[in-house]
Amino acid sequence: MSISNSNKRVKRRARTVSIAVVLAAGIAVIAGCSSQPKTEGAAETAANANQVAAKTVKVAEIAKIQIAEPLEQVADVLASAQVHIVAKAGADVQQIMKKRGETVKAGDVIVALDDTDALLQQEQSLLSRESAALSLETGRKQWESNLAKMELALSEATKNYNKMKNDYDAGLVGKSELNQAETAYTTAKSDLALLKETGVAGLEMQLKASQLSVVLSERALANYEIKAPISGVLSELTVQEGMTISPGFAIGEILQIDPIKVKTLLSAQAANAARGKTQLQFYVPGSSSMYTGKVTYFADVVDTQTNAYELNLSIANPDKALKPGMKVQVRLTEAAEEQVVAIPTLSIVREGADSYVFVLNGDKAEKRKVELGRLNELNQEIISGVKAGEKLIVSGQHQLSDGEQVNVAN
């Protein structure tokens, strides 16, 4: 009885284990079938996401900035003209009319010389002219009288010659008498022609020569007043009253400072910046006044000695505020000229010797080659390749390729 019951319990346990094994196997099969499609779908979704995902970038609008301060060059203030005053006559200095440092005008008398000898020469030339005029008047009257006499003599000689020809034809006179009458006629005619030809030409020439002497004496007399050849400041005066000077002696110097001249020497780069301008501004360091000068000379060829291009400006200086010897700063460019298209230097992608940037075009990154200009701290001037107003990619550009789709970060 106990054995039978024990066998029955063993059989029941075996069936229970078999059923559990079968159920476990079925559950595993079902679970495997249901999990396989889910794993494949997740992988496919991830792959698609990788294909459409775009890189996130940051952009900034390209603008113009002042890349540098206006270009300036130091210059010298000079007299626009520097003229030596030279005596044209030799004499004693009689009077000094102007002082050194005075402002003079062209034509002002600076020094008066003793003109006694010059006055005597002028008086002599005036007398010679009067004498020549009188001689001409007398000579013309004499010539007119001689002319009348010769015309009368020719008339008589003509009548006599004609009468002799008639008498010779009639046999009343001989050949010798006819020849004498013909000679008298020919001589009278020749003398009259010569008198008319010469007239009073010699006396007229004498009068012209005496008139020219008067003019020369007047010019010589004018040289005894030494006058300022130009307007300006009498910067030098080297004579004293009573001093004897000779022709060609330099008595002083005049500096013309209205207008005044500004001169500077430019490097090739600075010359290119100012080339083509007709006016330039300049100022005296430490002063708030700004002047505008007219370009009067700009060398086209570099000076081999200074290796620079000379530039000259001219400006009116009525108040004499600008003086020779001063230094000024000439502005070769204005602030507006320094406003250029510039971008952050970190946005530039460098490939060998070439430089590129990425510009946002729609939702894509467009690769552009750019030409670089001046550098100002963190900004780089762009000469060509982009323009103001375009959207520049400033972050993430090093991982981009041309035409790649991007997302713009907020």
Cβ atoms of 342 and 392 closer than 8 Å: no
Q: Are residues 97 and 10 in the same domain?
A: no
Handedness of CA 93, 98, 104, 107 (dihedral sign): negative
C-alpha–C-alpha distance, residues 357 and 87, integer Å: 74
| 131 and 209 part of one domain | yes
The pLDDT of residue 343 is 95
Residues 212, 356, single domain; the answer is: no
Give DSSP secondary structure letters for 285-303. TT---EEEEEEEEE-SS-B
pLDDT by residue for the chain (410 residues), tens digit each?
Answer: 333 444 344 344 444 434 343 344 444 433 444 444 444 444 444 444 444 578 999 999 999 998 888 899 999 999 999 999 999 999 999 999 999 999 999 999 999 999 999 999 999 999 999 999 999 999 999 999 999 999 999 999 999 999 999 999 988 989 999 999 999 999 999 999 998 888 888 999 999 999 999 999 999 999 999 999 999 999 999 999 999 999 999 999 999 999 999 999 999 999 999 999 999 999 999 988 999 999 999 999 999 999 999 999 999 999 999 999 999 999 999 888 888 999 999 999 999 999 999 999 999 999 999 999 989 889 999 999 999 999 999 999 999 999 999 999 87
Same domain, residue pair 89 and 104: yes
Interval 346-388: pLDDT, tens: 999 999 999 999 999 999 999 999 999 989 889 999 999 999 9
* Domain shared by 238 and 108, yes or no: yes
CA-CA distances (angstroms) from residue 3 to 6, 8, 16, 154, 382? 5, 9, 20, 210, 105
The total number of structural domains that make up the chain: 4
**Is residue 180 domain-shared with residue 313, that is, in the same domain?**
no
Nearest CA-CA partner of 347 in 385, 392, 403:
392
Q: How far apart (Å, rounded) are the C-alpha atoms in residues 191 and 196?
A: 9
343: β partners:
380
Name the residue range of residue 23's domain: 2-53
Same domain, 33 and 88: no
At residue 15, the pLDDT reads 47
pTM, two decimals, is 0.60
End-of-domain residue from the set 333, 348, 373 = 333
Residues 345 and 371 in one domain: yes
For residue 279, the domain's CATH number is: 2.40.30.170
Residue 358 and residue 319 in one domain: no
Strands (E), 185-278: 225-227, 232-237, 244-245, 250-266
Rg of the chain (C-alpha set): 58
Domain boundary pick from 311, 333, 355 = 333
CATH value at residue 137 = 1.20.120
User: Tell me, what's the pLDDT at 52?
Assistant: 53
| CATH number, residue 344 | 2.40.420.20
Same domain, 325 and 259: yes
Same-domain check for residues 139 and 270 = no
Among 291, 311, 333, give the residue marking a domain's end.
Answer: 333
Same domain, 129 and 160: yes
Give the CA dihedral 296, 302, 306, 309, nearest 10 degrees: 30
Nearest to 341 by CA among 384, 378, 377: 384
